[in-house]
A and B are shown apart, each in its own frame.
Chain A
Amino acid sequence: MSIMEYNGGSVIAMVGKDCVAIASDLRLGVQSLSISSNFQKIFPVTDRIYVGLPGLASDVTTLHEQFRYRVNMYTIKEEREIEPQTFAQMVSSTLYERRFGPYFIEPVIAGMQRTPSGSYEPFIAATDLIGCLNFAKDFVVAGTASSELFGAAEGLWEPDLEAEDLFETISQTLLNAVDRDTFSGWGAVVHVMTKDKVITRTLKGRMD
């Protein structure tokens, strides 16, 4: 039994044309016993950043609270909101601080990054449980259904999807991947972000 698979759960993020999407399932279990069908693993960081934290449920809460604290202190000191790129480094260093007794979480970050010209471009990143960053241009996956998600995303994703098409792509990818994983499922939540707004939808999926 692996600690990473103890509670179950998966997260995926995808890049579209001037938009990004991040989605996760809603299950919390203890091995094969399901406890909750409304366990959020994705959290808003600012108006333009979301972070997904699949892994050990205890550390999901611990890290969410710790990131919220650090981001708020950053906002107070800098008098501006944190950028996705900067937040990704914060995630990485927070995890690496525990290099020899890690948090059992593999975070996924999605956001709209401000460019020097003042426009916004999509940003996604993921790290392993000790904070090794992976900046991807297409999609990133993590959690107990990560291999299924890789397969589904590889087949369904294409470049320059508009927000509505990206929503459909990420939803289908996630729902079909978690159906093949015992530890993920029980509904899903999807956030699609453009430069000025976020659309959040809760999906039902197979509730078994």
Chain B
Amino acid sequence: MECSFAITGKGYVIVAADTTAAHSIIKVKLDEDKIKTLSPHLLMAYSGEPGDTVQFAEYIERNIRLYQIRNTYPLRPSSAASWIRRALADSLRSRKPYSVNLLLGGYDTSTYTPHLYWIDYLGTLTEVPFGAHGYGSYFALSLLDRYHDPEASLEEGLATLKRCIDEVSKRLLVAPGRYKVKVVDKDGVREVEI
């Protein structure tokens, strides 16, 4: 089943999401990228109802891009998070709401700080030091309560993330096999192997 995790550290946010695309009980794809790069310093991991997820993520991606083209600079992470939350909150009270859960990781280039936002399909938004969606969250959050360090280096952060993934693989009956991991820091967005 779908799992996504994200953790902040010293000057960075790591976002990880599984890469399986499923149709009921069947895996149909094993290398799906479920983390979109919204702007040079903004990452969004999305999960939820298949179809809704991609539609919604592309809608967000293009509107964030439009803002950047119109105003020459991109939205800051906190403003992007608020705007995305509003899109989901408005959708919730529409005829057919999007069922999409998000983890939004960004680096604010005007204050030089990393930010991570936990957003669910209801339009709940909260800034967190670490967050997770899916069944994996039941394992990862308690693990991160114990091991997360906001001042950790990138290597330490990736090691903590590895712990979460390993724990989920060990204990969760329907654990995903592979994950894609991306990092955002002052230099922008990049993918890392773990």
Contacts and interface: CB of A to CB of B under 8 A. Distances in A.
A36 B126 contact: yes
Give the most central of A6, A28, A62: most B CB within 10 Å.
A62
Interface string B118-154: 1010111111100100000110010000000000000
A30 B85 contact: no
A61 interface: yes
Interface string A28-39: 101001111011
Interface of B is mostly: mixed
Please classify how large the interface on chain B is, using the bins under 10, 10 to 19, 20 to 34, 35 or more. Answer: 20 to 34
Interface of A is mostly: mixed
A57 B85 CA distance: 11
A155 interface: no
A62 B123 contact: yes
B60 interface: no
B92 interface: yes
A33 B123 contact: no
A118 interface: no
A65 B138 CA distance: 31
Interface in A97-120: 101
A129 B92 CA distance: 18
Please classify how large the interface on chain A is, using the bins under 10, 10 to 19, 20 to 34, 35 or more. Answer: 10 to 19
Contacts of B86: 62, 65
Contacts of A57: 122, 124, 126
Contacts of A58: 85, 88-89, 92, 122-125
B93 interface: yes
A7 B85 CA distance: 16
Nearest to A28: B126
A6 B88 CA distance: 17
Interface in A9-62: 28, 30, 33-36, 38-39, 56-59, 61-62
Nearest to A60: B124
Contacts of A101: 93
B138 A33 contact: yes
Give the most central of A35, A36, A57: most B CB within 10 Å.
A35
Contacts of B82: 65
Interface of B: 82, 85-86, 88-89, 92-93, 118, 120, 122-128, 131, 137-138, 141
11 contacts: A30-B120, A33-B138, A34-B141, A36-B126, A36-B127, A36-B128, A38-B126, A58-B85, A61-B85, A62-B89, A62-B123
Interface of A: 6-7, 28, 30, 33-36, 38-39, 56-59, 61-62, 65, 101
Q: Which 9 A-B pairs have the closest CB atoms?
A: A58-B123, A57-B124, A58-B122, A36-B126, A58-B124, A62-B89, A39-B126, A58-B89, A28-B126
